[in-house]
C-alpha cells in the first residue's frame, strides 16, 4: 500500500475518512484515523448545533465549535487533520477562515464547484496556513472545469481531487435518474479524471493525486479502485461503526441493523439527492408530507425555509443525537455490511489485510 502524497503531506495509510455532518465526524474520529496514518476529517457542517445559543448565533457557534474541534484533534493526534466544508452552507467563508487560522492541513470542499474561493481569502492567511485544497467532484468534466479556472485565474491548481461515484452516503452529485438506473461506474470516473488531471500535472510539474470515494467499503474495493489510477480512497460509511465515531450509539446501531433494501434516496433541501437509511420519517418525506420548519438561521445558501419540505440540518442533528422519529441517518449503499463496532485501528488493520489479500490473489491468478 503506497503512501498518499498531497503536496508536502504524506499519509502512510492512503485512506481519507470522509467528513460527515451533522456532528458525526468530529475530533474523536478524525484524530483516531490520523493516528493510524490516514487523513482524519472533521465535518464543519452544522458543527455548532451543540453549542449553547446556536439558534440565536449560528454563525458564531459554528466558528467556536470548529475551532474547538480542530484544537482537540491536534491534542489527540499529530497526524494529518482535515476539515470538510460544503459550498452550499451560507457561512462557508467564515468556516474556511477559521480552518485556515488554525492551520488545518487539508480543506475538503464538497457540494458545489469551488471556482472562486481563493479570491475571497486573505492572501497572507492563505500562504501562512499551508492548507491544501481538495475539491470533491462527480465527473472528470467538473474536475477539469475547476482546475482550468484555478490555473487561469490564480496560476495554481488544487492539491488533489476527490472523485465520488453514485454509491456514496450523504449528498450526491448525480441526478436521481442516474442514481436509480445507475450506469455510472466509479472505475470509469476515476480513469477519466486521472487523464484530465494528468494534463495539469504536466503543466505545473507537480503530482496531483486523484482520490476515489463512494461505495468503497473493503480492502478489496480499495485495491480494485487503485487499479483505475486512484492514489487513495475516501471512506465515510465504513467509519460510522467505529468506537471513536463521534455520533450516538443509536446512529451506529441503525447501521448495524439495516438491510440493503433499507437504503434509499430522498430529495434534500440542499438541492441534491441524499442517500439515507429509511424509517417512518423518511417514508413521510418520500410521500410528500410537509414537516414543520422553523428556521432562525438559514444555514444553506439556497434554502427558502417557507418552501422546503423539512429542515435537513435539524433532521441530521436529531439522528446524530439518536432521535429517529424526527430525523434520519445518511448512509452509503454499503452500510448494511457493518457487522459490529470496531475501533478505528481494528477497522484500518482489517481493510489493509483485505487489501493485501486481494493483491496476492491477483498476483497468483494464472496467466493465459
Residues that bind ligand FMN (CB under 6 A): 18-21, 24, 43, 45, 84, 86, 110-111, 164, 167-170, 213-216, 234-238, 240, 329-332, 334
Closest CA to 86 of 54, 122, 43: 43
d(CA 368, CA 60): 64
Query: Please, are residues 14 and 4 in contact by the beta-carbon 8 Å criterion?
Result: yes
User: Which cell is 329 given?
Assistant: 441517518
Closest approach, Cβ 216 to ligand FMN, in A, equals: 6
Nearest to 37 by CA among 67, 70, 75, 79: 79
Separation CA 34–CA 350 (nearest Å): 16
Let me know: does 329 contact 322? Beta carbons within 8 Å.
Answer: no
Residues contacting 183, CB < 8 A, separation 6+: none
Q: Toward ligand FMN, which CB reaches closer, 347 or 367?
A: 347
Distance CA 162, CA 148 (A): 16
- Nearest C-alpha neighbor of 83 from the set 35, 125, 30: 30
In the complex with ligand FMN, the residue whose CB is nearer, 144 or 171, is: 171
Nearer Cβ to ligand FMN (107/235): 235
Q: At closest approach, how far in Å is the CB of 355 from ligand FMN?
A: 15
CB of 205 to ligand FMN, least distance (A): 29
Q: Cβ of residue 331: shortest distance to ligand FMN, in angstroms?
A: 5
- Cα–Cα distance for residue pair 248/322, rounded to 1 Å: 6
Could you give the CA distance from residue 142 to residue 144 in angstroms, rounded to a whole number?
Answer: 5
Q: Nearer Cβ to ligand FMN, position 94 or 201?
A: 94
Give the residue with the Cβ less far from ligand FMN, 179 or 292.
Answer: 179
Q: How far is the CB of 286 from ligand FMN (least distance, A)?
A: 19
Q: Minimal CB distance to ligand FMN: which residue? A: 236
- Would you state the cell numbers that stand for residue 40, as one nine-digit string? 482524519
**Cα–Cα dist 114/368, whole Å:** 47
The Cα diameter of the chain in Å comes to 68
Exposure on the CB side of residue 348, measured as CA atoms within 13 A: 24
* Nearer to ligand FMN (CB atom), residue 127 or residue 185: 185
Minimum distance from CB of 334 to ligand FMN (Å)? 6
Nearer to ligand FMN, 19 or 79 (CB): 19
- In the complex, minimum distance from the CB of residue 168 to ligand FMN, in angstroms, rounded to a whole number: 3
Residue number, 150 or 336, with CB nearest to ligand FMN: 336
Check if the beta carbon of residue 192 is closer than 8 Å to that of residue 326: no
Least separation in angstroms between CB 275 and ligand FMN: 8
Amino acid at each position: 500500500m503506497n503512501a498518499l502524497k498531497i503536496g508536502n503531506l504524506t499519509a502512510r495509510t492512503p485512506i481519507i475518512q470522509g467528513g460527515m455532518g451533522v456532528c458525526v465526524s468530529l475530533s474523536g474520529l478524525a484524530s483516531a484515523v490520523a493516528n493510524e496514518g490516514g487523513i482524519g476529517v472533521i465535518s464543519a457542517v452544522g458543527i455548532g448545533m451543540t453549542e449553547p445559543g446556536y439558534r440565536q448565533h449560528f454563525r458564531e457557534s459554528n466558528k467556536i465549535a470548529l475551532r474547538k474541534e480542530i484544537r482537540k484533534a491536534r491534542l489527540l493526534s499529530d497526524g494529518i487533520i482535515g476539515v470538510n466544508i460544503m459550498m452550499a452552507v451560507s457561512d462557508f467563508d467564515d468556516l474556511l477562515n477559521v480552518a485556515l487560522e488554525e492551520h488545518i492541513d487539508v480543506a475538503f470542499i464538497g457540494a458545489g464547484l469551488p471556482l472562486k474561493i481563493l479570491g475571497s481569502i486573505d492572501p497572507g492567511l492563505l500562504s501562512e496556513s499551508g492548507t491544501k485544497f481538495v475539491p470533491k467532484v462527480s465527473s472528470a468534466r467538473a474536475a477539469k472545469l475547476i482546475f482550468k479556472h484555478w490555473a487561469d485565474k490564480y496560476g495554481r491548481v488544487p492539491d488533489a481531487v476527490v472523485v465520488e461515484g453514485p454509491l456514496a452516503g450523504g449528498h450526491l452529485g448525480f441526478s436521481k435518474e442516474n442514481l436509480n438506473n445507475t450506469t455510472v461506474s466509479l472505475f470509469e470516473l476515476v480513469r477519466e479524471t486521472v487523464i484530465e488531471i494528468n494534463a495539469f500535472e504536466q503543466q505545473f510539474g507537480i503530482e496531483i493525486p486523484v482520490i476515489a470515494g463512494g461505495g468503497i467499503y473493503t480492502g478489496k474495493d480499495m485495491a480494485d479502485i487503485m487499479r483505475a489510477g486512484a492514489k487513495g480512497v475516501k471512506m465515510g460509511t465504513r467509519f460510522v461503526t467505529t468506537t471513536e465515531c463521534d455520533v450516538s450509539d443509536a446512529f451506529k446501531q441503525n447501521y448495524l441493523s439495516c438491510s440493503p433494501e433499507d437504503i434509499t434516496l430522498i430529495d434534500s433541501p440542499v438541492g441534491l439527492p441524499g442517500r439515507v437509511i429509511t424509517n417512518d420519517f423518511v417514508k413521510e418525506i418520500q410521500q410528500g408530507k410537509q414537516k414543520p420548519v422553523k428556521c432562525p438561521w438559514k444555514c444553506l445558501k439556497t434554502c427558502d425555509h417557507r418552501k422546503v419540505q423539512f429542515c435537513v440540518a435539524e433532521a441530521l442533528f436529531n439522528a446524530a443525537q439518536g432521535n429517529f422519529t424526527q430525523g434520519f441517518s445518511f448512509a452509503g449503499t454499503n452500510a448494511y455490511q457493518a457487522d459490529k463496532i470496531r475501533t478505528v485501528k481494528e477497522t484500518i488493520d482489517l481493510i489493509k489485510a483485505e487489501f493485501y489479500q486481494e493483491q496476492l490473489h491477483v498476483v497468483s491468478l494464472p496467466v493465459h
